[in-house]
Amino acid sequence: MGVPFKHLVVAAQVARFDVLRTLDVLARTGYRDLDRAAIGDRLAYARRWLDRHAPDDMKFEVKPELPAEAAALDASQKAFLARLAGTLNDGMDGEAVHLAIYDLAKEFPDAKPAALFQALYVALLGKPKGPRAGLFIAALGPGFCAARFASAAA
């Protein structure tokens, strides 16, 4: 099965364009037994596309530490992240993460869903938007994201 280009672009950025790390990210998101050389070739295309043509909302860098922007999250965003951190585990795929996010968001009727999603991206990227949340969290590793969300909620 081929990896959709947009998904490869996300995986490549998560893995900082390292071929082996990209293969690991792709495996976490359901793409296994891929040809290393072919992925390496496609990473070069992905990098060129990002540099020359990609809209800004497709470009991101996962911050190694909690971004300073997370300090501006409001109480409902922090509560959402704390609860989400408690539901994520490394066995979850993108669909399971997606469902967990949407189910949990329903428990915050006074918060706008966009603000809750914004909290996810601010905690991970330091900016209010990013790739589709479920697959993105699965690509990063739900355990890593759970720890980051717990830190942002503290």
Domain end (from 58, 86, 102): 58
Instruction: Determine the pLDDT at residue 28.
Output: 87
Q: Into how many domains does the chain fold? A: 2
Instruction: Determine the pLDDT at residue 29.
Output: 87
Same-domain check for residues 85 and 112: yes
Structure tokens at 35: 């040809």
- Owning domain of residue 17: 5-58
Structure tokens at 104: 């949990």
- Does residue 63 belong to any structural domain of this protein? no
Cβ–Cβ < 8 Å for 135, 100: no
Same-domain check for residues 16 and 48: yes
Same-domain check for residues 132 and 88: yes
Task: Write down the pTM of the prediction.
Answer: 0.87
Domain end (from 33, 58, 83): 58
- Does residue 87 belong to any structural domain of this protein? yes
Residue 87: alpha-carbon gap to chain centroid: 16
Instruction: Determine the pLDDT at residue 30.
Output: 87
In whole angstroms, how far apart are CA 141 and each of 27, 89, 94?
A: 11, 8, 10
Instruction: Determine the pLDDT at residue 1.
Output: 54
CATH number of residue 116's parent domain = 1.10.10
pLDDT tens across the length of the chain (154 residues): 589 999 999 999 999 999 999 999 999 888 999 999 999 999 999 999 999 999 887 899 988 899 999 999 999 999 999 999 999 998 899 899 999 999 999 999 999 999 999 999 999 999 999 888 998 999 999 999 999 999 999 9
Same-domain check for residues 148 and 74: yes
Instruction: Determine the pLDDT at residue 91.
Output: 85
Instruction: Determine the pLDDT at residue 2.
Output: 87
Same-domain check for residues 53 and 73: no
What is the chain written as a DSSP string?
Answer: -PPPHHHHHHHHHHTTT-HHHHHHHHHHTT--S--HHHHHHHHHHHHHHHHHT--GGG-----SS--GGGGG--HHHHHHHHHHHHH--TT--HHHHHHHHHHHHTT-TTS-HHHHHHHHHHHHHSSS--S-HHHHHHHH-HHHHHHHHHHHH-
Determine the Cα–Cα distance for residues 151 and 154; give it in Å rounded to an integer. 5
